[in-house]
Structure 1
Amino acid sequence: MSNRLNIKNETLGMWLGVIGVALFAVTLPMTRLATGTQGAPQLSPWFVTLGRAALAGILSTVFLLATRSPRPAPHQWKPLGMAVLGNVIGYPLLLGYALRVVTASHAAVVTALLPLVTAAVAAWVLHQRARLGFWLCAIAGSLLVVLFSVLRASQAGHGFGFEWADLLLVGAVVAASFGYIYGAQVTPSLGAERVICWVCVMALPVTLPATLAMWPTEPIATSAWLGFVYVGVFSMWIGFFAWYRGLALGGALRVSQTQLLQPFLSILASIPLLGEPLDVVTLGSAIAVVCTVVLGKRLSQPQPAQPVRAVSPRAANAEQS
């Protein structure tokens, strides 16, 4: 009976992981809808960043009050604060500015490095070790992203150089990685859902007044408002419910593999939402980067310990004699 229950929980965890990744993947095209482009700007990236956190903060307040959640312990405030800087401010702000310049498909390739960068931050912050092969895959994936960025800049007539938006995307990946790791530090003790709720509530004294102060006075397209609501409700809040619960039920190592679907889902979602073409170079780059992530994930597992061969007393005496 226990084995059957474990299998059922693992299956449910995998599906919740897929749901969370799917919700996160649509963040890229929805953010581009919300912010618009340089030629046709909509909502300010600052407004989208603060406003989506304020919306999630209001929902989080209702959730915490309804569930009578206790306040975090004193030692939990610092990791939660780091998660605020990484996931509430850093990632959405840098992503919002970048998506005014590059397509959502372009951003999906760069942000495909998120699992590897998160592992690197975990090795530094949490002192986790990985084998040499893992780091070789991380370097290979980074080189693929560099090659893609240079090729894209060349095709756009910018010469063999980087677009400044690529640096913003890299910064967004790093910010998200730090937010994930510091949030993960308190997840076992605080609870998966309460981590993201307290993160959003902590930022609410800043995000809510700033959102009201920056409320747009000019007409904004309905599609931009729809994108804003999506990133506030699903990307900043509900997506984390499914993601962290899936990790708890199905096992972090197993369920984390579903994150490899994110760049493909982002590219596919950009086709109907933004009318972006399915570019062969972008799709090929995404496949190559994800392959390095898959291989790196496998090589990140420690070497299995060699079993110790039991020696009977009679055999030991025979060897000594």
Structure 2
Amino acid sequence: MEYRKIKDQENYEDVSQNDIESLHGKPLSGVISNSTPSSLGGSTKSSWKLKSIVTLALTLLTSSQAILIVWSKRAGKYEYSVTTANFSVEALKCALSLVALAKIWRSQGVTEDNKLSTSFDEVSVYPIPAILYLIKNLLQYYIFAYVDAPAYQILKNLNIISTGVLYRIILKKKLSEIQWAAFILLCAGCTTAQLNPSSDHVLQTPFQGWVMAIIMALLSGFAGVYTEAIIKKRPSRNINVQNFWLYIFGMIFNLIAIVVQDYDEVMNKGFFHGYSFITVCMILNHALSGIAVSMVMKYADNIVKVYSTSVAMLLTAVVSVFLFGFHLSLAFFLGSTVVSVSIYLHSIGKPQPQK
């Protein structure tokens, strides 16, 4: 397996949260090994600021995803092709990465860390997460044939636990007992916040729905952790280059999905048939969210991503109060409290490095 190769090549236990040192203990490009404490303090402050910005962006973008998906439907169904929408997302992300790279090349020039040319060994790991994200994204649309929105939100929380487990298995990251407890509290809090006290049928999901939800959770967790391993394998590598290659394979696999699933419809009605202004906004949102996720993985980690998207789910409920007249129940407030406690526990429960 490719992730074993990554694991053998890199020792993730020695990586600092600020990516000050490379995975082999060598200074990163642009960082002087004998930096003064003040310069390291400035780097730490700058890194914290960057993490905060990308995490906030991911939270805001994720919180609006569900709303845009609902609005993109007409008469309860998608009039556009889901496969073409996913391809458009990957193409837009690839284009945005190239634009960002062009700006870097003009200001800094082409270097070893920001050039697109690469080795086969480096690029060969990207098809795996690309195809995993393809399957997961398609399931995200089709699962609604078996579950309703409240049940989907509840089942979606399964990826919180799967991410934590895979994070420990694949990246060999140690999680403290407090952090494991925080994971469980987070899952329980998000579930509680989505419960509908006026209905007894929220969790009565068909077997197919449960299977798809479990598969989605595992795919989401594995793809996320695997992508983080790829991105952090070479910390000095420009994130836009890494994104470019990931999105190129995403476009290839989504193009194959269009040919297999919607070829006749696309040829007869056109690639953009059924698209509306809301559909375009949804595609833009998904593209920016994908880039924000990769930035979080580069400068923070998957755990931050999980908590960011969990907070976004609660934020979506708050926004829905004004847009759809959503009622904030007691269960929502209780769930929000539990989520807040779990976030605090996770932040103070980080294992301390052994001296």
Same fold (TM over 0.5): yes
Alpha-carbon distance in structure 2 between the residues aligned to 1:98 and 1:278: 25
Is contact 1:23–1:239 with CA below 8 Å preserved after alignment? yes
Please list, as runs of the form range in 1=range in 2, the aligned pairs for 1:234-313 lying within 5 A after superposition.
234-236=285-287, 238-245=288-295, 251-252=300-301, 258-271=308-321, 275=324, 277-280=326-329, 283-284=332-333, 286-287=335-336, 290-291=339-340, 293-294=342-343, 297-298=346-347, 301-303=350-352, 305=354
Distance 1:121-1:63 versus aligned 2 partners, 3 A rule:
same
Unaligned runs of 5+ in 1: 308-321
Could you list the per-position Cα deviations for residues 299-318 of structure 1 after superposition, in whole angstroms to 9, with x for gaps in the alignment?
7622554x6xxxxxxxxxxx
Query: Greater RCO between the two (CA within 8 Å, min separation 6)?
Result: 1
Is contact 1:94–1:172 with CA below 8 Å preserved after alignment? yes
Is contact 2:139–2:216 with CA below 8 Å preserved after alignment? yes
- Of 127, 134, 139, which residue of structure 1 is paired with 2:172? 127
Is contact 1:16–1:245 with CA below 8 Å preserved after alignment? yes
Please list, as runs of the form range in 1=range in 2, the aligned pairs for 1:141-290 lying within 5 A after superposition.
142=187, 155=199, 157=201, 161-163=204-206, 164-165=208-209, 167-188=211-232, 189=234, 190-208=237-255, 210=258, 213=263, 214-215=265-266, 217=269, 225-236=276-287, 238-245=288-295, 251-252=300-301, 258-271=308-321, 275=324, 277-280=326-329, 283-284=332-333, 286-287=335-336, 290=339
Alpha-carbon distance in structure 1 between the residues aligned to 2:297 and 2:63: 17
Please list, as runs of the form range in 1=range in 2, the aligned pairs for 1:92-131 lying within 5 A after superposition.
92-99=137-144, 107-112=152-157, 114-131=159-176
Alpha-carbon distance in structure 2 between the residues aligned to 1:304 and 1:281: 40
Is contact 1:193–1:244 with CA below 8 Å preserved after alignment? no
Q: Percent identity?
A: 13
Alpha-carbon distance in structure 1 between the residues aligned to 2:61 and 2:242: 18
> Aligned residue for 1:313?
none
> Aligned residue for 1:49?
86
Is contact 1:36–1:42 with CA below 8 Å preserved after alignment? yes
Structure with the higher helix share, 1 or 2: 1
Is contact 1:51–1:208 with CA below 8 Å preserved after alignment? no
Unaligned runs of 5+ in 2: 1-37
Equivalent position SS for 1:26: helix
The range that moved more, 174-183 or 101-110, is 101-110
Deviation at 1:14, TM superposition (A): 0.7
Is contact 2:59–2:308 with CA below 8 Å preserved after alignment? yes
> Aligned residue for 1:10?
48
Alpha-carbon distance in structure 2 between the residues aligned to 1:41 and 1:241: 25
Deviation at 1:201, TM superposition (A): 0.8
Equivalent position SS for 1:129: coil
Alpha-carbon distance in structure 1 between the residues aligned to 2:188 and 2:247: 35
Deviation at 1:234, TM superposition (A): 3.1
Please tell me the residue identity of whatever aligns with 1:84. Answer: A
Matched, 1:91 2:136: yes
Deviation at 1:259, TM superposition (A): 4.4
Distance 1:45-1:253 versus aligned 2 partners, 3 A rule:
closer
Could you list the per-position Cα deviations for residues 175-231 of structure 1 after superposition, in whole angstroms to 9, with x for gaps in the alignment?
22222211111213243233332211113234246288343849x998x63343234
Alpha-carbon distance in structure 1 between the residues aligned to 2:170 and 2:326: 40
> Aligned residue for 1:315?
none
What TM-score results when the alignment is normalised by the length of structure 1? 0.70
> Aligned residue for 1:314?
none
Please tell me the residue identity of whatever aligns with 1:123. Answer: R
Deviation at 1:18, TM superposition (A): 0.3
Is contact 1:131–1:299 with CA below 8 Å preserved after alignment? no
Larger Rg: 1
Is contact 2:58–2:293 with CA below 8 Å preserved after alignment? yes
Could you list the per-position Cα deviations for residues 15-34 of structure 1 after superposition, in whole angstroms to 9, with x for gaps in the alignment?
23201221122222222333
Is contact 1:35–1:96 with CA below 8 Å preserved after alignment? no
